[in-house]
Amino acid sequence: MQEILAKILAKYSPTEAETIQKAYTFAEQAHTDQKRDSDEDYITHPLAVAQILTDFNMDHETVAAGLLHDALEESNYKIETIEKEFGPKISFLVQSVTKLHRVSYSGEKGFIENFHKMILATAKDIRVVLIKLADRLHNLETLDTFKGNKERIAREALEVYAPLASRLGMGELKGIMEDYAFPYVYPEEYKNLLDFVKDQIAENKKYAERIKPAVEKILKENNIRYIRLSARAKHLYSLWRKLQKYEFNLERMYDLVALRVIVPDIVSCYETLGVLHKYWQPLPNRIKDYIALPKPNGYQSLHTTVFCEEGKITEFQIRTEEMNKNADYGIAAHWSYKESKNPIAKKYSWLHQLSEWQNQDLNSEDFWENAKIDFFKDRIFVYTPRGDVIELPEEATPLDFAYAIHSDLGDKCIQAKVNGKIMGITHTLNDGDIIEVVTGKNQKPSQDWLRFIKTSKARTKIKERLRLIG
């Protein structure tokens, strides 16, 4: 344990490390003689949470709060003591996380109320939920020794924490949490998937390792600087979900294993793409430029799928080191609480929505309907004619798009040009669509619109207009 603590402390300034060391000593005393279900000393859990938060590059206050996150519930210490010892900022984080410990999947009504608390905590300080995500990640890592309801913990991960990690741009964390939870929630499906794809994944991994020298040689011969080249396998739960859409046709899965090229700068990203296409023919419609057009959560990378060595279809992901960290850890990768009052508002504009929810007198039903749309639905990314990216839930319509641009545009929307073709306002949009809203001077919102719109913003605005119309 001391070795883990030393690695954590080494990443912070002497003054910051002193606070973290003090928090560890306090937590160790608070959890004296306490054991986890694995029979390990309880302090191993808050220490693991602190390690995860350190890997997220969180500030020392967050790491200290991670060490203390169970001190109130698992000991006789009061919040006043923690505030006296560590100050108001750390005590606020600890108290907020303690409240989130009561968020549990215990019937829809109780779940809604508790989830509401978590969302409001996110709006106040995102670090509270990052601590909770780190806490839940370690619980999932050690779920095999847990003596309670394993399925409940795993289901919470799939239905709440992984989607929330995704919305925070923490793609790697999402994938890891889902894979830990998958066998406990869907044991038969998990076993069947392994039987179905393990040979194909193993074969693809061997192929990826086999062609790495050829890729490296090509990059060097063309004077492309690169930091590293690695192979990554698709997360199993994500693979299972995708296979369901493709009727379990593995021949349609081009990213079971992908090669990732990490380069020093953006220019090198495009140079690498050009060189790969020079040697290997790309598949049509499989080139994605998320550098020029980042996803709304900040994700950036170049994706291409080519007919590679031996004619095998192979996916490449090309990105810088910073892009790679952002892809894995999202909001946490560049979070610095000291940078400004709201350093992540531009990339995570949906957090502003949480602040608005805080100030609204929402009943549980309205809140839950909004939450299911804004947090738990898979997302698509569509474009304005100028190339601006708009994030919407799956099955969204041109009307949802119009309201996402501006309320007045939504009110007057009569149809839309989707990829140049006129479509009605009930048309289901697809990822990558380019949309131009067509308005009518006499158009007004209708009660019927509430039957097919998919976004909480559109629903709220339509209801407001209908009340005004009377």
List, as one string, the DSSP characters of 444-466: ---GGGGGT---HHHHHHHHHHH
Q: Which of 3, 22, 2 is nearest to 14 (CA)?
A: 22
Beta-bridge partner residues of 196: none
**Token pair for residue 285?**
């419609």
What confidence tens digit (pLDDT) does each residue in 162-192 have? 888 887 888 889 999 999 999 999 999 999 9
Q: How wide is the angle at C-alpha 196 spanned by C-alphas 194 and 197, nearest 5°?
A: 70
CA gap 463, 459 in Å, rounded: 6
Which CATH number is associated with domain 2-182?
Answer: 1.10.3210.10
Whether 240 contacts 182, CB under 8 Å: yes
pLDDT of 111 reads 56
pLDDT of 123 reads 63
pLDDT of 345 reads 44
CA gap 8, 437 in Å, rounded: 52
pLDDT of 470 reads 57
pLDDT of 456 reads 81
Q: Which of 173, 175, 172, 182 is nearest to 150 (CA)?
A: 182
> Is 187-328 a CATH 3.30.460.10 domain?
yes
Positions of the chain with pLDDT under 50: 337-346, 361
Going from the C-alpha of 270 to that of each of 215, 267, 297, the distances in angstroms are 16, 6, 22
pLDDT of 391 reads 82
pLDDT of 344 reads 45
| Domain extents in the chain | 2-182, 187-328, 377-469
pLDDT of 75 reads 81
Q: Which of 214, 210, 226, 207 is nearest to 279 (CA)?
A: 214
pLDDT of 94 reads 92
Whether 259 contacts 212, CB under 8 Å: yes
Question: Can you list the alpha helix ranges (DSSP code H) found in 222-256?
Answer: 236-245
* Burial letters 377-402, b for 16+ CB under 10 A, else e: bebbbbbeeeeeebbbbeebbbbbbb
Identify the architecture of domain 377-469 in CATH.
Roll (3.10)
What confidence tens digit (pLDDT) does each residue in 403-425 have? 999 999 999 999 999 999 999 99
Whether 65 contacts 47, CB under 8 Å: no
**Token pair for residue 30?**
């608070």
